[in-house]
Amino acid sequence: MGLRPEDLRSHRWFGGEGLRAFSHRARTRQLGIGAEEHLGKPVIGVLNTWSGINPCHMHLRERAQEVARGVWQAGGYPVEFPVSTLSETFQKPTPMLYRNMLAMEVEEIVRSYPVDGVVLMGGCDKTTPALVMGALSADVPAVFVPAGPMLRGNWRGRTLGSGTDMWRYWDDKRAGVLGDHEWAELENGLARSPGTCMTMGTASTMTAAVEVLGLSLPGASSVPAVDSAHHRMAAASGRRAVELVWEDTSVRQIATAEAFQDAVTVVLALGGSTNAVIHLIAMARRAGVPLSLDDFDRLARDTPVLADVQPGGRFLMEDFHHAGGLRALTARLADRLHPDRTTVAGRFGDGLGEVHDPEVIRPLDRPVATEGGLAVLRGNLAPAGAVIKHVAAAPELLRHTGPALVFHGYQDLMHRIDTVDATPDSVIVLAGAGPKGGPGMPEYGMLPIPKKLLEQGVRDMVRISDARMSGTSYGACVLHVAPEAHVGGPLALVRDGDLITLDVPARVLRLEVSDGELARRRAEWVPPAPVFERGYGALYQEHVTQADQGCDFEFLARDGRNPVADPG
């Protein structure tokens, strides 16, 4: 036991004889809570991203009751705070625009209310990093409850995966192979339970990363959303949150440099989403941990991909869970990880498990791929770095030089892509889709292949952008080019016909244009007008950092004085 009741942060609100404390107690009676029910107990904020518009989180309203059950059981006082939901499906132009807003909301709720510890409830792509970033800045004890993946999709006895299968059947429908009746049936079968996408997209990648960081109970991240084990995990998370307060273990004591190294290693072994690069860098910076693109590249060179899960592999999250889940995969990697560090449940190395199906979680000598699905590229076209998931690309394109075909913004791309003069050697460039230019860095990165070439059977080309890519996408797509075109990065200076060299083994992305010519073009370059002139969009554009820095707001990422109000 580290803390005494009078050391609790909430004691500043409820303790003492002053008028303010009296008022806080009287208003708690108004809430229907008796003195004996809460005084001297840790207040656990249950930060819930439930919303009627977010199908991935539709069970979290009910699940918050079970978190509360666990908090009461352990002698705490649960208080639910509804916080902003970020629905990957419905929120436009991209929920990435709002990740920092949710992070800010989490931090400010903890700062301004009598909260001793938190349970964070989320899982749909950006909600996970947002909740954790806010908690890291607030630096309170925290347990993350992942929403959990939805069940496997089903259509006439066939298994369906989120994303990938939708595109496949859409092509069949356009080709006339699939009728309207079948298409309507698919609509009912693709997503058939609450929970997050059941492939290894951004949601499953990030909840796994947070579990490895040590912020979820061991094994929590792959528990299917509707499994009874998910109810029990929610209650157990509530209990642990109370204990962490008494133990005085805050989130930054858990999310250490070693924890982030382990999270990166495991994300690579999962064949996880490229979005994890941006989110983990942003989270690490909130924790005061130096984590850079070079750490990803270094670890990717000798981390095998072990999870045979879609989009890169064959199975789905439910299979992964029954095969042993993250604890089993982590056990395979044990000698590359740091077993002695602390998690919300105790020692990290004590939470490892066993593989029950070596097809789904492969042994080290029979991996899905021998090196992690990620390389960091640099050169005069990406001075601050770019990222490629090269296991998902046609191997012959990994060393390629070709003439650029340049598009400025998504509208330009969509209008002209099918009419431009392209060859299979062309390098398609999209500029102006980065953090400030997008704004919000939308997932445009799997740039379309011109129709003429598709008809000739071309299925992959070198494509370069300052955008991101969905966790379920694939191809020789160079992403996250930094600095972005909108701020005058070299991507803004590329012209049609310029030769571009991609050399993944050498980790190079080069524009074959002389320095003198680039300087001349730069002098002529006119900065584009900001998309937003007012509102949150304007705040975002003014303060968002580049992809290699995690796309956080600079005023949230930096250290500095940030006093907590004195309640009394």
What, of ligand FES, Mg ion, none, does residue 56 touch, CB below 5 to 8 Å by kind? ligand FES
Please pick, from the candidates 100, 127, 162, 202, the single residue that binds Mg ion as defined by CB under 5 A. 202
Q: Least separation, in Å, of the C-beta of 308 and ligand FES?
A: 20
Amino acid at 314: R
Minimum distance between the CB of residue 387 and ligand FES, rounded to whole angstroms?
A: 21
C-beta of 80 vs 88, nearer to ligand FES = 88
Bridge partner list, 508: 378, 503
Residues in the chain: 568
Nearest-angstrom CA–CA distance, 227 and 380: 50
Which residue's CB is nearer to ligand FES, number 343 or number 470? 470
196: buried, middle or exposed (CB in 10 Å: 19+, 13-18, 0-12)? Answer: buried
In DSSP terms, which residues pair with 163 in a beta bridge? none
Contacted entry of Mg ion, ligand FES, none for residue 130, CB cut-off 5 to 8 Å set by kind:
none
User: 249 vs 470, which CB is nearer to Mg ion?
Assistant: 470
Q: For the chain, how big is the Rg over CA atoms in Å?
A: 24
Residue 447 beta carbon to Mg ion: minimum distance, rounded to whole angstroms: 17
Which tokens sit at 351? 């939470």
Instruction: Supply the minimum distance, in Å, between the C-beta of residue 88 and Mg ion.
Output: 5
Cβ at position 204, least distance to ligand FES in Å: 8
The option from Mg ion, ligand FES, none interacting with 483 (CB < 5 to 8 A, set by class) reads none
Give, as ranges, the residues between 56 and 95 that touch Mg ion (CB under 5 A).
88
Q: For ligand FES, give the closer residue by CB, 125 or 295.
A: 125
With the C-alpha atoms ordered 95, 96, 99, 101, is the resulting torsion angle positive or negative? negative
State in angstroms the smallest separation of the CB of 162 from Mg ion. Answer: 8
89 binds, among ligand FES, Mg ion, none (CB under 5 to 8 A by kind): ligand FES
If the CB atoms of residues 86 and 360 are measured against ligand FES, the closer one turns out to be 86
Which residue's CB is nearer to Mg ion, number 126 or number 362? 126
The site for ligand FES (CB under 6 A) is made up of 56, 88-89, 124-125, 196-197, 201, 203
Residues in Cβ contact with 529 at an 8 Å cutoff, skipping those fewer than 6 apart:
none
By CB under 5 A, which span of 250-258, 312-320, 466-474, 554-562 interacts with Mg ion?
466-474
Residues contacting 30, CB < 8 A, separation 6+:
none
Distances (CA, A) of 170 to 167, 177, 309, 458: 5, 10, 22, 19
Q: Residue 196 in contact with residue 318, Cβ under 8 Å?
A: no
Q: For residues 354 and 328, what is the distance between their CA atoms, to the nearest angstrom?
A: 5
Instruction: Please enumerate in sequence order all residues whose Cβ is within 8 A of that of 169, keeping only pairs 6 or more positions apart, or say none.
Output: 178, 183, 186
- Outline where 56-213 has alpha helix (H): 60-73, 96-112, 127-138, 164-174, 180-189, 202-213
Cβ closest to Mg ion, residue 78 vs residue 440: 440
Contacted entry of Mg ion, ligand FES, none for residue 470, CB cut-off 5 to 8 Å set by kind: Mg ion
208 binds, among ligand FES, Mg ion, none (CB under 5 to 8 A by kind): none
H helices, E strands: number in the chain: 21, 16
Nearer to Mg ion, 191 or 245 (CB): 191
Distance, CA of 181 to CA of 169 (rounded, Å): 13
* CB of 92 or CB of 399, closer to Mg ion: 92
Stretches 58-66, 95-103, 368-376, 462-470: which one binds Mg ion (CB under 5 A)? 462-470
Q: What is the spatial distance between Cα 40 and Cα 336, in angstroms, rounded to a whole number? A: 43
Strands (DSSP E) found in 446-540: 462-465, 477-479, 499-503, 508-511
How far apart, in whole angstroms, are the C-alpha atoms of residue 312 and residue 367? 12
Stretch of residues binding Mg ion (CB under 5 A), selected from 43-51, 176-184, 458-466, 468-476: 468-476
470 lies in the site for Mg ion, by CB under 5 A: yes
Sole window of 35-43, 179-187, 197-205, 308-316 interacting with Mg ion (rule: CB under 5 A): 197-205
Shortest separation between residue 441's beta carbon and Mg ion, angstroms:
13
How far apart (Å, rounded) are the C-alpha atoms in residues 163 and 171?
13
Residue 139 beta carbon to ligand FES: minimum distance, rounded to whole angstroms? 27
Least separation in angstroms between CB 201 and ligand FES: 6
Which residue lies nearer to ligand FES by CB, 79 or 147?
147
Contact footprint for Mg ion (CB under 5 A): 88, 201-202, 470
